[in-house]
Amino acid sequence: MRTRTQVGIVGAGPAGLLLSHLLQRERIESIVIEDRSRDYVENRIRAGVLEQGSVEILNQAGLGARMAEEGIVHEGIEIRFDGVGHRIDFPSLTGKRMTVYGQHEVVKDMIAVRLDAGLPLIFEARDVSIRDFDRERPTIRYTDENGGQEIACDFVAGCDGFHGICRPSIPDTVLTHYDRVYPLNWLGILSQSRPPSFEITYVHHERGFALMSLRSPTLSRLYLQVSPDDELADWPDARVWEELHRRTALADGDFRIEEGPILQKGITPVRSFVVEPMQYGRLFLAGDAAHIVPPTGAKGMNLALADVRNLTEAIAAFYRDGTTALLDGYSARCLRRVWNAQRFSWWMTTMLHLNPEDTPFDRRRQLAELDYVTSSEAAMRSLAENYVGLPFEPAVVN
C-alpha cells in the first residue's frame, strides 16, 4: 500500500514527535514511523532536564500543560568537592531557570496529543528503510500486520537515534564522524525515596563522580561514576547505597541520602559523537541520530529539540515561498549549537570525573579549577549561561 505525505518522520522519540507537532501548527502534513511499541517508547527512561528555551518550545507547540503542573523548576545547581557544597544561582547570573521533567513524560504528552488529534503515528513498524532521498520524491518502506507499506514524501526526517537506520543509509563517503569515548561509565538508579535536594548536585570525590537529581518529590535519580568494565552484577543495591553515602558526604557530617527501593538500575557509557553534515539530499538528521553528548552537561534532549526547531523553520519556509536557503543551511546552523554543547559537556565531564590516567598534578589542577569556578562570578556566569542554554540563532534567509 502506498501513502502520500509531505514529511516522513522516522522515530517517535522527542525529536520526531516534536517535529510532527511543530509541522502540524504550520499546516504541514507528516507521518511518524517507529519500530518499537508505544509502551516501550513511553517508558524508556532518559534524561529530564529542560532548558528554559526547550520549555518555551514545548509550550508554543501546545505540549506544556502537564509539564507546568508536574515539572520541577530549578533555579540553580550545587557543585560539591572536598565535602563542601557551592551553589550556582541561575536567575541572578542569567535571568533563566531549568525544569526537571522526565523525557519519557515529554514523550507521553506528545503521543497523547497526536493520537487524540487523529494524526498518523505508526508503532511496531518492521523492516523500515528509506530510499531515493537524494531525489525529489523520497520514500519510506516498512512492514506491518497488513504487509508491505510505502510512504512517498517530500522530505525525510531521521529522528531514530544513534542506532537507527537513517544515518547509516547515507553513503559513507559523505559523512565525517567525530567520536570520543570517555574512560568511565555512569551507573544510574531510580529510587523510591525523597530526593536529597530539589536541585541537581554534582559531586567531585576522590573515589569518583556522583550526581544527585530527582524525577518527582518521591523519586530520586542518582548516579555514580564506575569503571567501563563494571557490570550490573558488580553493583548490588547495598554497594550502590554505600558508595553514594561515601561520595556525597559533607565534611561536617550533616548530610545523608535517604534510601528506598531501587526501581531501575542501569549502566551507561559516556561518549561524545557528532556526524557532519546532518543532511544529505532530502534527508535531515536530528537528535541522537546526529550527535550524542556526555550527560554531565544536561544537553541531550535539549539539542534534539533545538534541531527540530531549526528544521521546522526550514521546511515551513520551503512550503511558504519555495526558498531552500534554510534547508541548505540546516546542518551548519545546528552544528554550531551542537559543538558549543559538546565543548561544555566535555568541560563539565573532565572537571568533575576522575580519569584513571590522571597524575597527582592533574587531580590538584581539577581541584583548583573547581575552586575557581565556584568562587569567580565571571566563571559561574559562564557555566550558568551554558547550562541554561545559549540563545537560539534567528532564522535568516539570504
* CATH code for the domain of 59: 3.50.50.60
- Taking a C-beta distance cutoff of 8 angstroms, is the pair 86, 80 a contact? yes
* Number of neighbours of residue 25 by Cβ within 10 angstroms: 12
- Among residues 142, 202, 280, 330, which one is catalytic? 202
| pTM assigned to the model | 0.94
- Among residues 21, 74, 205, 291, which one is catalytic? 74
Residue 232, in any domain of the structure:
no
Per-residue confidence (pLDDT) for residue 295, from 0 to 100: 93
- Among residues 195, 295, 330, 353, which one is catalytic? 295
State how far the Cα of 221 lies from the Cα of 99, in Å rounded to an integer: 15
Overall number of domains in the chain: 1
Question: How is residue 205 written as a grid cell?
Answer: 570525590
Residue 104, in any domain of the structure:
yes
Residue 362, in any domain of the structure:
no
Per-residue confidence (pLDDT) for residue 398, from 0 to 100: 56
Per-residue confidence (pLDDT) for residue 44, from 0 to 100: 81
Q: What angle do CA 298, 170, 33 make, to 5 degrees?
A: 65
Q: Please, what's the b/e burial string for 296-313 (b: 16 or more CB within 10 A of its CB; e: otherwise)? A: bbbbbbbbbbbbbbbbbb
Residue 40, in any domain of the structure:
yes
**Catalytic: 387?**
yes
- Among residues 21, 205, 291, 299, which one is catalytic? 299
**Catalytic: 295?**
yes
List, for residues 244-262, the tens digit of each pLDDT value: 999 999 999 889 899 999 9
Per-residue confidence (pLDDT) for residue 168, from 0 to 100: 97
Cα end-to-end span (Å), the chain:
41
Residue 249, in any domain of the structure:
no
Per-residue confidence (pLDDT) for residue 396, from 0 to 100: 60
Residues facing residue 211 across a β-bridge = 202, 223
Residue 135, in any domain of the structure:
yes
Which residues of the chain, if any, have pLDDT below 50?
A: none
DSSP3 helix / strand / coil % (the chain, rounded to 5): 40, 30, 35
**Catalytic: 299?**
yes
Enclosing domain of residue 112: 2-73+99-178+271-354
Question: How is residue 330 written as a grid cell?
Answer: 540546516
Per-residue confidence (pLDDT) for residue 380, from 0 to 100: 98
Per-residue confidence (pLDDT) for residue 393, from 0 to 100: 80
List, for residues 113-136, the tens digit of each pLDDT value: 999 999 999 999 999 999 999 999
**Catalytic: 163?**
no
Residue 340, in any domain of the structure:
yes
State how far the Cα of 39 lies from the Cα of 17, in Å rounded to an integer: 15
Residues facing residue 202 across a β-bridge = 79, 211
Residue 85, in any domain of the structure:
no
Residue matched to cell numbers 516534536: 18
